[in-house]
Every structure is written in C-alpha cells, then in structure tokens.
Amino acid sequence: MKKIIIFLAFVALITSCDKMNDIHQKYIKGGEQVYLGKSDSIITYPGIGRAKLVWYTNADPKIESTVIFWNSRQDSTEHVFTRTQDGVQKDSAIIDGLPEGIHFFEFVNKNSRGERSISAKMVEATVYGAEYLASLSNRKIDKASLFLAADNRLEIAWGSALGTVVRVELLYRNLSDEETMLPVTNEVTNTRITDSKEAKMRYRTLILPATNCIDTFYLDYSTIEFEINSEVPKPWIDLRSLIPYDNTADYSSSYGFDKIWSGSYNEPYLSVGGGDKGCSLTFDLGKEFKIDRMALWHKVASSADPPEWIYWTCNILEFEMWGCKELDDSKLADHSYWLHPLSAKKFDETLPDHTFMDDWVYLGRYSVPRLDQTGAPSSEILAATLAGWQFDIPKECEPVRIIRFFPLATNSTPPSGEWWLGELSFWINEE
C-alpha cells in the first residue's frame, strides 16, 4: 500500500511540471509585454465645435505618437509626437468637428513596433454650439438718447454686463462718412458720441463662455433706436426774490445766478453762504416741460484743472429738486409754507403740517459720482466733469415750469452755504 501512494505522488509531480513547462514555453514564445509611458497632467479647454487638449508626454524615448479616443472609442485621432527635449515634454492638439455637449477623452501612447501605453485617466471637455448661442443676447441698453443741442450728441446708457461678456463693438459712421468701430468694455456704463453723422448705430456683443475657452462668440448686430431729446431753451427767469428761504446773495455780478444758464461752465455762479442766507434756488423755465434728463456742470476753470479741484470745497456734490406748473401767489406771504427740512434746521424753525412739498412735484435727489474715490485716472475724472454729470428724471414726474433747487452737500466740512455751480441743463423727450 505504501508503494502505491509513493507512485501516485510521483505521477502527480511529473504532470504538474509538464503544465508549468507549457505555460513557460507559451510566455517565451509570445515575448514579454512592454508598456510605454502614459500621458499625464491632461488639461482640456472648451471651444465652439471643438476642444483643445494639452498634456505632458512621458520621458520614454520610444513614444512616437499619441492616440486620442472619444465617443466611447468610436472616434479617434492620432497625433504624431516630435521630441524636442529630454524628459517630460508638453504637447497639445485641437479636436475639430465635435457636436455640442460634454465629451470624454482617453489618451494612449504608441510606436511603430506595436508597443502601447496603458490608457491615461479619462478627461472631459465642454463643447459649445448653436444651442448655447441661441441662449445669448446682446448687452442690454437701458437708454439711448439723441440730444438736440450744439453738439447733437448721442448717449447710450448700458445695462450691467454679464461675466461672460468680453466687450461690445459699436459701429457708426463719423462726420467724415467713415465707418468707425468703438469698443465698449464691461466697466463702461455710459457712452457719449459727438462725431456721428446720423442717429444710426449697430452693436454686437462678444461672449467668452468660460475663462479658459479658446473661442469667442460674436453675436449678430442689433440696431440701436435712439430717443430724441431737445434741450429746454435758455435763458430762464430768476425767482429767488419771491420765494422765502431762497439764497439771493450772489458773490458778485461776475458770479451771478444767471450764470447757471449762460452756456459756459467756465463762467460759474457763486453764492454767499452763512448767516441768514437761504438754502434753495428757484427759477422759471418759461413754460411747462416734461423733463426727461438733466445735467449739472461743476465750476471748472480750465481743462488743466487737477481732479481734486473738481470736488473742491464749494462744488455741489448732492442736490434735490422740486417743481410745479405755476406759483400760487396766495402762498408767497406764508413763509412757513416754503420751509424745507434743510431751512427748518438752519433757521431753527418747525415744519408745519402742510408745506410746498405737499403740493409740488418731487423731481428727485441726486449725487455726483465720486470718481476720485474709486481710483479712476485723472483723465477720466476730468472728461466726465467737462461732459457734465447726467441724471435721469423719474418718468412718473409730471410736467413742471418752476423748479426749486436745493444744494444738499458740498465737500466743505461743516457746510459753508456757499455753492459753485457751473451750469444746469434740462432735456425733454420729443417722442
């Protein structure tokens, strides 16, 4: 019995050795499997109908090309690799003709001997197309106005730009009948043009879907429809002597109140403040107007003035306006009727239950932009000042003829009651 067991064990050992030998022979016959170095650090960049792929090719000197697969390996392209340096080398390719959507890419390095790398980690890229384009629109225009005045200027008030907006391209024909393209960057909220041949303009918006996108969408041009605005005629009529609590003290005839409608900000009005001097200015436009827009010019001696002078002591930085169609003569003798919180505080009087503010149209409270506090360059501050600070009057305001103007703040601390005012202008919408 013992001999039989030893014999069976010997047979089993011989059989096992034969099987191992068969496997070894098969391995030797097929040759050892060699893998090339794989691609690494793959970055994708979205595009319009295409994608850019950037990767680093392994230092393996036997790599001759990179095969890029997508669409579940149903599509591929082979990118020939040309080594220009030892070690890891950056490479890239653009895959064109891709449908809109998200695509996944695989990278396999290979050579002419049939050797391949294992697949690099799959990466994804977004491709934009017609569907995304259909969702886009040009930058919004809040208001576009033609001002019929000496310069017949055109003004465009832009809505906020989305983060994907690169810029706007504004097209018009200048006074020499040449087509002019004016780029409008995202931070610009108001564009003023004085050299346009006519009130016809087109614009388009450039969109970059993502910060790393390799392509920019150029939207179709839109035509701008301009509202026609006419300036309220000057001169106006000084009513300050009739209205209680108005400031009637001019610094001198050279700086008289009529300077606010002289047509030149270089000839400003300057009030005398302090003491019993009033807090408001009242004037008559001559007839009723449905005011759409106004502008205020600071006192600027010349275009060489430094920006800090623009916001200097007496230039008005905040103001309020009220208006009515006609004066009620029966109210002129009732001084308390003409009180405003500003004058009530100054003269230590109590506001009555009923004042002019209950009967007049409130035209709004306005503040001059403090560009000096935003880091704006001197050239921008001066240009904005010389162009005049523009303000829209609320659309719901009724037509007025008489305007009462309250300077609320200057840069003087404490307020001195003295005001520089270079010029005022008002416009009406004729449409």
| Minimum mean pLDDT range among 108-117, 122-131, 264-273, 305-314 | 305-314
> Residues 400, 288: contact at Cβ < 8 Å?
yes
Q: Name residue 145's beta-bridge partners.
A: 155, 227
- Whether 13 shows a pLDDT value over 80: the answer reads no
> At 41, is the pLDDT very low, low, confident or very high (cuts 50, 70, 90)?
very high
- For domain 35-132, the CATH class is mainly beta
- Of 189, 103, 180, 91, nearest to 139 by C-alpha is 189
Mean local confidence (pLDDT), 128-133:
96
State the chain's mean pLDDT as an integer: 87
Mean pLDDT of 217-230: 93
Q: Which two structure tokens, joined as six digits, stand for 333?
A: 């003798």
> Which pLDDT does position 8 carry in this prediction?
43
Average pLDDT over residues 13-31: 45
Q: Once rounded to an integer, what is the mean pLDDT over residues 124-139? A: 96
Closest by Cα among 377, 385, 370 to 192? 385
- Residue 5 is predicted with a pLDDT of 46
Q: Which CATH superfamily hosts domain 232-429?
A: Galactose-binding domain-like (2.60.120.260)
The burial class, CB within 10 Å (0-12 / 13-18 / 19+), for 344 is middle
| Other Cβ atoms within 10 Å of 259 Cβ, number | 23
Query: What is the band of 14 on the pLDDT scale with cuts at 50, 70, 90?
Result: very low
What kind of fold does domain 136-230 have according to CATH? Immunoglobulin-like (2.60.40)
What is the mean pLDDT of the segment spanning 417-425? Answer: 88
Q: Per-residue pLDDT for 70 more than 70? A: yes
Confirm whether 35-132 and 136-230 share one CATH topology.
yes
Q: What is the pLDDT of residue 391?
A: 93
Domains of the chain, residue spans = 35-132, 136-230, 232-429
For position 204, what pLDDT does the model report?
A: 98
* Cα distance between residue 386 and residue 22, in whole Å: 96
Above 90 in pLDDT, residue 17?
A: no
Strand order in the sheet with 227-231: 190-193, 154-158, 141-148, 227-231, 423-429, 291-297, 389-392
pLDDT at 6: 45
Beta bridge partners of 404: 282, 322
| pLDDT exceeds 80 at position 69 | yes
Q: What is the pLDDT of residues 323-382, one digit of tens each?
A: 999 999 999 999 999 999 999 998 999 999 999 999 999 999 999 998 888 888 887 888
Residue linked to tokens 């008030």: 157
* CA–CA separation, 258 and 237 (whole Å): 8
Residue 282 CA to residue 403 CA, distance in Å, equals 6
- Higher pLDDT residue, 251 or 303? 251
Is 237's pLDDT higher than 90?
A: yes
pLDDT, tens digit, 9 for 90 and up, residues 147-185: 876 567 898 999 999 999 999 999 999 999 999 999 999
The structure's pTM equals 0.66
Alpha-carbon span 225 to 228, nearest angstrom: 10
Category of 195 on φ-ψ map: left (φ > 0), alpha (ψ -120 to 50) or beta = alpha
Q: What is the pLDDT of residue 19?
A: 46
